[in-house]
Amino acid sequence: MNLLLTDRPLTVSLPEGWEMVDLSQQTIAPCLGCFGCWTKTPGRCVLRDDAVAIYPRIAKSSRVLYVSAVVFGGYDVPMKTILERAIPIQKPYIRLLDGETHHVQRDVAPKDADIVAYGADTQEERDLFRRLVERNAKNMNFTAVRVHYTTMDQLDETVGEVLAQ
Amino acid sequence: MSLLILNGSPRAPRSNSKRYAEAFCRYWRGTVETENLLRGDVNALCAKAGEADQVLLVFPLYADGLPTVLLSFLKDWTRSMGEKKPTVSVLINCGFYEPEQNRVAVEMVRLFCKQTGCPFGSVLAIGSGEAILDTPFRFLVRRKLRKLAGAMAHGRAVSLQCTMPISKGMFLRASTTYWTRYGQRFGRTAAELDTMEIEEGT
């Protein structure tokens, strides 16, 4: 399964095997930080909104394409919200990965990831965003990840090119 | 010198960030006010932040970055920021052993400061922040909080960090015990916490 998560509507043709979720059309509350998905109902978020249909698809996907605006060198609110709500796919328990402590994954497919980022106007912000994505790779089971910078005007075109790769 | 502490935790009223902020206040000699960003009045919070000489952002690392509640506030504050630019400092904690895992989030706040013209102040980055306050090593955190408060009071910018002075192997064992006991409070076994299932069964 391949999953495209986007924070704004896109006009692109999806190749076979891809699904798209437009986060702007979903109702997703911020994570409560309650640790319920780790300690009360392991693997299930206590908030029963649209996120509960999305994080299992993130877990199952072996290719992901995340499309997000960049704010302060990180994901803008819609993408950040779903990434925070996806912690049920991890266990509370900690392991060592490359000598660093990270959470153990539940049944999460290793992922080949592409991130299409728009709105990062300076090299400094792009460099910081790339550092963030490199951190994500360790915590989100990315085996490979590529960051593609673009503008909002060029978004459909850039996403189309990435999907065609 | 007036200080506004903003708690950016998604569980602000019962957060570790609240405990860190309270511990910090023991060493702060000036005027201080603390507000939770969670469910706060954004306009009032932005106005308060704009009046303070210094702002201390206290928050946990979330998915390698700023928690959404803090990110949303910083966006709102950017839009409404006036002429006065408070110095912004950071008190961040993560549940991982390495305080260095907080660095990207700290840099995000630094970039916010650069984009808005606020001076960037001091940093205390805490590793093993979920548990350290309930261990004998809490004195290490308090020592760094005192240094942070002193630096901020004197207008010095420092970058501090701390974690438990134990091996990573010991940390792994301690964290396993911590989470297993956490689950037991809700009648969950270690095997249940360890499930591979996602959204299947309960």
Mean pLDDT of the residues in chain B: 95
Q: What is the pLDDT of residue B151?
A: 97
Q: What is the pLDDT of residue B13?
A: 84
Contact state of B196 with A52 under an 8 Å Cβ cutoff: no
Question: In this model, does residue B201 exceed pLDDT 90?
Answer: no
Question: In this model, does residue A53 exceed pLDDT 50?
Answer: yes
Under 8 Å between Cβ of A93 and B178: no
Out of A52, A87, A96, closest to residue B168 by CB: A96
Contacts of A81 in chain B (CB under 8 A): 68
Length of chain B: 202
Under 8 Å between Cβ of B144 and B124: yes
Q: What is the pLDDT of residue B40?
A: 87
Min Cα separation B88/chain A (Å): 15
| Residue range A58-68, pLDDT digits in tens | 999 999 999 99
Contacts of A59 in chain B (CB under 8 A): 198
Kindly state the average pLDDT of the residues A145-160. 98
Contact state of B63 with A72 under an 8 Å Cβ cutoff: no
Classify domain A2-164 at the CATH superfamily level: Flavodoxin domain (3.40.50.360)
Angle CA A112–A117–A121, to nearest 5: 145
Mean pLDDT of the residues in chain A: 97
Contact state of A100 with B175 under an 8 Å Cβ cutoff: no
- Going B12 to B14 to B16 to B20, the CA torsion angle's sign is positive
**Look-up: residue for tokens 């303070």?**
B52
Could you tell me which chain B residue has the CA closest to the CA of A123?
A: B111
Could you tell me which chain B residue has the CA closest to the CA of A95?
A: B172
| Residue range B111-125, pLDDT digits in tens | 999 999 999 999 999
Contact state of B101 with A96 under an 8 Å Cβ cutoff: no
Alpha-carbon A147 to chain mean position: 12
Between CA A59 and CA A48 the distance in angstroms is 18
| Residue range B39-63, pLDDT digits in tens | 889 999 999 999 999 999 999 999 9
Under 8 Å between Cβ of B17 and B7: yes
Min Cα separation A134/chain B (Å): 10
Contacts of A131 in chain B (CB under 8 A): 104, 107
Give residue B64's region: left, alpha or beta (phi > 0; psi -120 to 50).
left
Three-class HEC string of A10-60: CCCCCCCCEEEEEHHHCCCCCCCCCCHHHHCCCCCCCCCCHHHHCHHHHHH
Predicted ipTM beyond 0.90: yes
Out of B9, B71, B104, closest to residue A77 by CB: B71
Could you tell me which chain A residue has the CA closest to the CA of B38?
A: A32
For chain A, the structural domain boundaries read 2-164
Could you tell me which chain A residue has the CA closest to the CA of B189?
A: A39
Tokens (6 digits) for A3: 């999953």
| Residue range B11-48, pLDDT digits in tens | 978 899 999 999 999 999 999 999 999 988 999 999 99
Question: In this model, does residue B136 exceed pLDDT 90?
Answer: yes
Min Cα separation A62/chain B (Å): 16
Question: In this model, does residue A99 exceed pLDDT 90?
Answer: yes
Helix or strand run (H / E) with residue B147: helix B138-153
Contacts of B10 in chain A (CB under 8 A): 30-33
For chain B, the structural domain boundaries read 2-164
Under 8 Å between Cβ of B151 and A84: no
Give residue A57's region: left, alpha or beta (phi > 0; psi -120 to 50).
alpha
Question: In this model, does residue B202 exceed pLDDT 50?
Answer: no
Exposure string of A90-105, with b = 16+ CB inside 10 Å and e = fewer, is: bbbbbeeeeebbbbeb
Contacts of B94 in chain A (CB under 8 A): none
Fold of B2-164: Rossmann fold (3.40.50)
Could you tell me which chain B residue has the CA closest to the CA of A87?
A: B63
